[in-house]
Amino acid sequence: MSNTSSPIERTLILVKPDGVRRGLVGEVISRIESKGYNVAALRLLTADKDLLATHYAEHRGEAFYEPLIEFMSSGPIVAMIAEGQRVIEGFRSLAGATDPTLALPGSIRGDLARNQGTKVVQNIVHGSDSVESAQREIKIFFPNL
Protein backbone atom coordinates (compact mmCIF):
# COMPACT_ATOMS: atom_id res chain seq x y z
CA MET A 1 0.00 0.00 0.00
CA SER A 2 1.45 3.33 -1.09
CA ASN A 3 1.64 6.24 1.29
CA THR A 4 1.88 8.90 -1.41
CA SER A 5 -0.80 11.55 -1.48
CA SER A 6 -2.97 12.31 -4.49
CA PRO A 7 -1.72 15.01 -6.84
CA ILE A 8 -3.24 18.48 -6.64
CA GLU A 9 -6.07 18.82 -9.15
CA ARG A 10 -7.81 21.88 -10.55
CA THR A 11 -11.50 22.16 -11.38
CA LEU A 12 -13.81 24.76 -12.82
CA ILE A 13 -16.73 25.74 -10.63
CA LEU A 14 -19.50 28.03 -11.83
CA VAL A 15 -22.03 29.73 -9.60
CA LYS A 16 -24.96 29.89 -11.99
CA PRO A 17 -27.28 32.90 -12.46
CA ASP A 18 -29.76 31.59 -9.87
CA GLY A 19 -27.00 31.39 -7.24
CA VAL A 20 -25.70 34.88 -8.05
CA ARG A 21 -29.24 36.35 -8.07
CA ARG A 22 -29.95 34.84 -4.67
CA GLY A 23 -26.71 36.13 -3.13
CA LEU A 24 -25.21 32.67 -2.58
CA VAL A 25 -21.72 33.27 -4.02
CA GLY A 26 -20.18 33.80 -0.58
CA GLU A 27 -21.89 30.69 0.80
CA VAL A 28 -20.59 28.56 -2.09
CA ILE A 29 -17.04 29.89 -1.69
CA SER A 30 -17.23 29.37 2.07
CA ARG A 31 -18.19 25.73 1.59
CA ILE A 32 -15.37 25.19 -0.92
CA GLU A 33 -12.81 26.73 1.43
CA SER A 34 -14.23 24.97 4.50
CA LYS A 35 -13.68 21.68 2.70
CA GLY A 36 -10.00 22.62 2.44
CA TYR A 37 -9.83 23.59 -1.21
CA ASN A 38 -8.11 26.72 -2.46
CA VAL A 39 -9.84 29.23 -4.76
CA ALA A 40 -7.01 29.99 -7.19
CA ALA A 41 -8.87 32.28 -9.62
CA LEU A 42 -12.25 33.97 -9.64
CA ARG A 43 -14.17 36.19 -12.03
CA LEU A 44 -17.67 37.62 -12.32
CA LEU A 45 -19.04 37.76 -15.85
CA THR A 46 -22.18 37.62 -17.92
CA ALA A 47 -21.43 34.78 -20.31
CA ASP A 48 -22.36 35.34 -23.94
CA LYS A 49 -23.97 32.63 -26.01
CA ASP A 50 -20.76 31.85 -27.93
CA LEU A 51 -18.84 31.15 -24.72
CA LEU A 52 -21.69 29.01 -23.40
CA ALA A 53 -22.01 27.13 -26.72
CA THR A 54 -18.33 26.20 -26.40
CA HIS A 55 -18.73 25.18 -22.75
CA TYR A 56 -21.86 23.07 -23.37
CA ALA A 57 -20.82 21.75 -26.82
CA GLU A 58 -21.37 18.09 -25.84
CA HIS A 59 -25.04 18.86 -25.13
CA ARG A 60 -25.79 20.47 -28.51
CA GLY A 61 -28.86 18.79 -29.99
CA GLU A 62 -30.32 17.80 -26.60
CA ALA A 63 -33.81 19.08 -25.79
CA PHE A 64 -32.50 21.09 -22.82
CA TYR A 65 -29.62 22.74 -24.75
CA GLU A 66 -31.32 25.98 -25.90
CA PRO A 67 -33.11 26.60 -22.56
CA LEU A 68 -29.81 25.94 -20.78
CA ILE A 69 -27.97 28.53 -22.91
CA GLU A 70 -30.81 31.02 -22.28
CA PHE A 71 -30.70 30.43 -18.52
CA MET A 72 -26.91 30.59 -18.26
CA SER A 73 -26.82 33.87 -20.22
CA SER A 74 -29.70 35.40 -18.21
CA GLY A 75 -27.47 37.13 -15.68
CA PRO A 76 -24.04 37.22 -14.10
CA ILE A 77 -22.20 34.05 -13.17
CA VAL A 78 -19.10 33.53 -11.07
CA ALA A 79 -16.40 31.32 -12.56
CA MET A 80 -13.65 30.03 -10.32
CA ILE A 81 -10.80 27.59 -10.32
CA ALA A 82 -10.50 25.50 -7.18
CA GLU A 83 -7.43 23.47 -6.35
CA GLY A 84 -6.81 20.58 -4.00
CA GLN A 85 -6.38 16.86 -3.68
CA ARG A 86 -9.24 15.08 -5.47
CA VAL A 87 -11.04 18.45 -5.82
CA ILE A 88 -13.05 17.31 -8.85
CA GLU A 89 -14.63 14.38 -7.03
CA GLY A 90 -14.78 16.32 -3.76
CA PHE A 91 -16.59 19.32 -5.21
CA ARG A 92 -19.10 17.14 -7.06
CA SER A 93 -19.90 15.47 -3.74
CA LEU A 94 -20.10 18.87 -2.03
CA ALA A 95 -22.43 20.13 -4.80
CA GLY A 96 -24.84 17.18 -4.47
CA ALA A 97 -27.12 15.53 -7.00
CA THR A 98 -28.04 17.54 -10.10
CA ASP A 99 -31.74 17.35 -9.19
CA PRO A 100 -32.16 19.58 -6.11
CA THR A 101 -35.01 17.40 -4.81
CA LEU A 102 -32.69 14.39 -4.70
CA ALA A 103 -29.62 16.24 -3.41
CA LEU A 104 -28.78 15.26 0.14
CA PRO A 105 -29.03 17.73 3.01
CA GLY A 106 -25.61 19.17 3.70
CA SER A 107 -24.77 19.49 0.01
CA ILE A 108 -24.91 22.86 -1.77
CA ARG A 109 -27.86 21.80 -3.90
CA GLY A 110 -29.55 19.91 -1.06
CA ASP A 111 -29.45 22.96 1.19
CA LEU A 112 -29.74 25.85 -1.26
CA ALA A 113 -31.29 24.79 -4.59
CA ARG A 114 -34.93 24.16 -5.27
CA ASN A 115 -36.89 22.92 -8.25
CA GLN A 116 -38.29 25.91 -10.11
CA GLY A 117 -40.63 24.12 -12.51
CA THR A 118 -38.59 25.49 -15.41
CA LYS A 119 -37.32 23.69 -18.51
CA VAL A 120 -33.79 23.76 -17.10
CA VAL A 121 -32.75 22.59 -13.66
CA GLN A 122 -31.57 25.67 -11.81
CA ASN A 123 -29.21 24.12 -9.31
CA ILE A 124 -26.83 26.87 -8.16
CA VAL A 125 -23.49 25.40 -9.29
CA HIS A 126 -21.58 23.55 -11.99
CA GLY A 127 -18.43 21.54 -11.40
CA SER A 128 -16.19 19.78 -13.91
CA ASP A 129 -16.73 16.01 -14.02
CA SER A 130 -13.21 14.83 -14.93
CA VAL A 131 -9.61 16.01 -15.21
CA GLU A 132 -10.06 16.32 -18.99
CA SER A 133 -13.28 18.34 -18.64
CA ALA A 134 -11.67 20.58 -16.02
CA GLN A 135 -8.72 21.35 -18.30
CA ARG A 136 -11.03 22.12 -21.24
CA GLU A 137 -13.47 24.22 -19.16
CA ILE A 138 -10.74 26.21 -17.38
CA LYS A 139 -9.32 27.23 -20.78
CA ILE A 140 -12.79 28.46 -21.84
CA PHE A 141 -13.38 30.66 -18.77
CA PHE A 142 -9.74 31.53 -17.96
CA PRO A 143 -7.96 31.57 -21.35
CA ASN A 144 -4.92 33.43 -19.97
CA LEU A 145 -4.14 30.94 -17.19
Closest listed residue to residue 80, CA positions, set 121, 4, 19, 7: 19
43: how many CB neighbours lie within 10 A of its CB?
11
- Rounded CA-CA distance 97/110 in Å is 8
Q: So which residues are the catalytic ones?
A: 126
Three-state SS at 69: helix
